[in-house]
Structure 1
Amino acid sequence: MTPLAELATPALLVDRTTLERNVADMASSLRGAGVTLRPHFKTSKCLEVARRQLDHGAIGFTCSTPAEVRLLQDEGVGDLLWAHQPVGPAKVAFAVEALRRGGLTLGLDSAEVAAPLASSGVTVPFLLEVDTGLGRTGVDPDRAVETATRIAGLPGLELRGVMTHEGHLGKHRDRTALEEAGRRAGLLLASVASDLRAAGFDCPIVSVGSTPGATSAPFAEGVTEARPGTYVYYDAGQVRLGSATLDRCAQTVLTRVVSMQRPGTVIIDAGVKAMSSDGLAGGALGTVCDVSGRPLEGVVFGDGNEEHGYLTGDGTARLRPGDLLRIVPNHACGTTNMWSGLHVVEDGRAVDHWPIRARH
């Protein structure tokens, strides 16, 4: 066991007790609603975390990248959803290879994307991706039956259900409005599934996916599966959305004050390469806490270079070079991808080190 003060900074930390509580609570909530859990692997990219999710009943994982699919297939995880359009020769070739290994379902939203897979000679199970408000990938609901008919008409393409990512919930700052928007997204997806069944398709999977929506969308009548990811760690962004309280944030970045040359500004040794700027909100790169995890009043992490962070505010007057701090990132998923490993923390000490894999 290593005291935090003896770790080289910056360092990525995950509190074991908080992680295990988050994993258990989400699994219990969805199990109670009769909804299966297929968490997004991109949040942790860590097999030790994935094993805990499987131990609590996850049926498999949602993947973003070929590297994630390959890693989990190599580990023998047999029920994966690749929730990214496999466009381009390299991704098509990988999809065919992974489909031959078995246990993979693709997310598709057009016949144009599906067509190169149809000549591969392999069976291609797919979920039709439906846009329920995000405006990213996903077919409009009123074109779902037409699109599914075109895709399923291609050789080897087999519709297994529908999916959506209700990422637009993050635009809501009022939790009541967010919950209602999540419920509407779930109901809309279930309605699309009903339309597909009426058109003669089997549609056993109705899959929603987000941590902000995990308390609403999966509980809409007709939804069968949920794909949250960030819940294993939570983050400052989820705290702002009301998805969690700060004490549920398992991931932090350990950093030290390294310079105080200008009044009102403190420099730390964690910059954007330690934090990721994704999820920047409220003029901050993350929530600044003391080494025990208590937020520091009057201190804002407002800017950063590659290896330096800028803390400002009246509270910086209390800081000195060498002081140890912990930053709760705005977005856990983006922060994870910046690191090759994490320190597991218990009772203020690092007790283990877990690799992070399948990074870009």
Structure 2
Amino acid sequence: MTSLDALATPALLVDRARLDRNVASMASAMRGAGVALRPHFKTSKCLEVARRQLDQGAIGFTCSTPAEVRLLQDEGVGDLLWAHQPVGPAKVAFAIGALRRGGLTLGLDSVEVAAPLASGGVPVPFLLEVDTGLGRTGVDPDRAVETATRIASLPGFALRGVMTHEGHLGTYGDRTALEEAGTRAGELLASVAAKLRAAGLDCPIVSVGSTPGATSAPFAEGVTEARPGTYVYYDSGQVRLGSATPDRCAQTVLTRVVSTQRRGTAIVDAGIKAMSSDGLAGGSLGTVCDVAGRPLEDVLFANGNEEHGYLTGEGTARLRPGDLLRVIPNHACGTTNMWSRLHVVEDGRVVDRWPIRARH
């Protein structure tokens, strides 16, 4: 075991007890709702975390990138959803090869995206992506039947169901309003699935996906699958949305104060290259905590350069160079992608190191 004081900073930490609690809690909630759990792998990009999720009953994983798909296929995970449009020759070629290996479903929202995949001569199971309010990818609900019918008519294509990402829930400041919107998203997706079935299309999977919506959208009648990701670690963004409390946040960045030359400001050695690339979400780069992980209410992570972080607030007056702090990032998924390994912490000591893979 290694003390935190012995680590070179900045360093990415994951509290194992909090991680295990988060994984077990989400799995239990989805089992209780009779909903399959297909977590998003992009949050951890870590096989040790993925194995914990599988052990708790996850049916497979949702992937963002070809690297994530490849890594999990190589590990023998047999039920993957690639929830990103495979556009362009390189991604089309990869998708065809990955489909040939088996166990992969694609998320599609148009014939234009789907048609190039038909050249591979392989079966193409797909979920129709439906926009339930985010306004990103996904077909409008009133065009779902037409679009699904056209894609399913392509050689080798088989509709498995519908999917959505209710990411727009992150814009709600009130938890009650957020959960009501999550329920509406789940109900809307289930209604689209019903219309597809009425049109003679098979639609067994109705898949929603987000951590903010995990307490609402999966519980809408007709939803069969949930794809949360951030829940394994949680983060400051999820705390702001009411999805978790700080004591559920398993991922932190360990950092040291390196300068206190200016009154009201302390400089740490964790900058934007150590934190989430989402930047100043919620007015800071993350929640500053003491080395035990307790939030410091009077210290704000106000800004950052590449290798320096700017802390402000009355609490900076008691900080000195060499002091250890931990920061709960704004967005766990973005922070993960900045690192090649994490330090596993128990009772304030490092007990293991896990590699982070499939990074951009």
TM band (smaller chain): over 0.9
| Cα deviation code 1:75-126 (max 9, x no counterpart) | 0000000000000000000000000000000000000000001121000000
Task: Give yes or no for the alignment of 1:139 onto 2:114.
Answer: no
Q: Aligned partner of 1:106: which letter?
A: L
Q: Aligned partner of 1:334: which letter?
A: G
Q: How does 1:108-123 map to 2 (within 5 A)?
A: 108-123=108-123
Distance in 2 (CA, whole Å) between partners of 1:166 and 1:227 is 10
Q: Aligned partner of 2:76: which letter?
A: G
Q: How does 1:289-308 map to 2 (within 5 A)?
A: 289-308=289-308
Q: Equivalent residue for 2:149?
A: 149
1:267 shift after superposition: 0.4
Distance in 2 (CA, whole Å) between partners of 1:95 and 1:158 is 15
Distance in 2 (CA, whole Å) between partners of 1:156 and 1:280 is 45
Q: How does 1:316-335 map to 2 (within 5 A)?
A: 316-335=316-335
| Cα deviation code 1:219-244 (max 9, x no counterpart) | 00000000000000000000000000
The alignment's TM-score, normalised by the length of structure 2, stands at: 0.99
Q: Aligned partner of 1:235: which letter?
A: D
Q: Equivalent residue for 1:51?
A: 51
Q: Equivalent residue for 2:285?
A: 285
Q: Equivalent residue for 2:212?
A: 212
Q: Aligned partner of 1:146: which letter?
A: E
- Provide structure 1 residue ranges, at least 5 long, that are not aligned to the other structure: none
Q: How does 1:1-360 map to 2 (within 5 A)?
A: 1-278=1-278, 280-360=280-360
Distance in 2 (CA, whole Å) between partners of 1:281 and 1:94 is 34
Would the aligned equivalents of 2:218 and 2:225 in 1 still touch at CA under 8 Å?
yes
Aligned alpha-carbon RMSD (Å): 0.6
Distance in 1 (CA, whole Å) between partners of 2:334 and 2:102 is 29
Distance in 2 (CA, whole Å) between partners of 1:313 and 1:282 is 16
1:254 shift after superposition: 0.2
Distance in 2 (CA, whole Å) between partners of 1:277 and 1:56 is 30
Distance in 1 (CA, whole Å) between partners of 2:69 and 2:224 is 22
| Cα deviation code 1:106-147 (max 9, x no counterpart) | 000000000001121000000000000000000000000000
Distance in 2 (CA, whole Å) between partners of 1:42 and 1:359 is 9
| Cα deviation code 1:235-286 (max 9, x no counterpart) | 0000000000000000000000001111111100000000023163231000
Distance in 2 (CA, whole Å) between partners of 1:282 and 1:81 is 31
Would the aligned equivalents of 1:277 and 1:285 in 2 still touch at CA under 8 Å?
no
Distance in 2 (CA, whole Å) between partners of 1:41 and 1:116 is 26
Would the aligned equivalents of 1:119 and 1:155 in 2 still touch at CA under 8 Å?
no
The alignment's TM-score, normalised by the length of structure 1, stands at: 0.99
- Structure 1 residue runs of 4+, over 2 Å off? 279-282
Q: Aligned partner of 1:72: which letter?
A: L
| Cα deviation code 1:300-329 (max 9, x no counterpart) | 001000000000111100100000000000
Distance in 2 (CA, whole Å) between partners of 1:66 and 1:319 is 44
Distance in 1 (CA, whole Å) between partners of 2:75 and 2:283 is 40
SS at match of 1:282: helix
